[in-house]
């Protein structure tokens, strides 16, 4: 694994760890943010492992497609579910056409899926 890929993986793991801590401390909105960041960074690590350079974007669906990895319908559904949480957390003036739920139940499920998909993405990175 290239050094830059290792750095992206390390940063992704830190975000995943932060999401777990934030969930335990009932900071659900921040938990969502770090789940998004973990998936984003694992995807960028995969892209870099294959192509050398990842675009500067926060769109998980675009990054998933750019990674050229074969993914399941469930992974794509998760990406589409998590993707909308990024901007409203960072930018208070962003208004979506639908409400987002930052409750414990939703955060627990998102964190669980983030862990599963992170393991799968790390496996994909290690195959390159």
CATH number, position 82: 1.20.120.330
The domain in which residue 14 lies consists of: 3-126
Dihedral sign computed on CA atoms, order 85, 89, 91, 94: positive
Q: What is the pTM of this model?
A: 0.94
How far does the chain reach from its first CA to its final CA, in angstroms? 8
Tens-place pLDDT, residues 82-124: 999 988 878 888 878 888 899 999 999 999 999 999 999 999 9
Residue 52: per-residue pLDDT? 73
Residue 104: per-residue pLDDT? 97
Mean pLDDT of the chain: 94
> Total domain count for the chain?
1
Of 51, 81, 72, the residue nearest 121 (C-alpha): 72
Residues ≥6 apart with Cβ < 8 Å to 73: none
Of 118, 128, 120, the residue nearest 34 (C-alpha): 118
């Amino acid at each position: 694994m290239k050094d830059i890929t290792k750095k992206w993986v390390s940063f992704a793991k830190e975000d995943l760890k932060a999401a777990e801590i934030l969930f335990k401390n009932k900071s659900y909105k921040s938990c969502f943010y770090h789940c998004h960041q973990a998936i984003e960074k694992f995807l960028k690590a995969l892209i870099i492992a294959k192509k050398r350079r990842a675009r500067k974007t926060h769109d998980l669906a675009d990054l998933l497609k750019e990674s050229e990895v074969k993914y399941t319908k469930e992974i794509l559904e998760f990406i589409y579910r998590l993707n909308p949480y990024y901007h409203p957390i960072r930018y208070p003036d962003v208004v979506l056409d639908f409400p987002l739920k930052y409750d414990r139940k939703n955060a627990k499920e998102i964190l669980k899926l983030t862990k599963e998909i992170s393991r799968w993405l790390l496996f994909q990175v290690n195959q390159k």
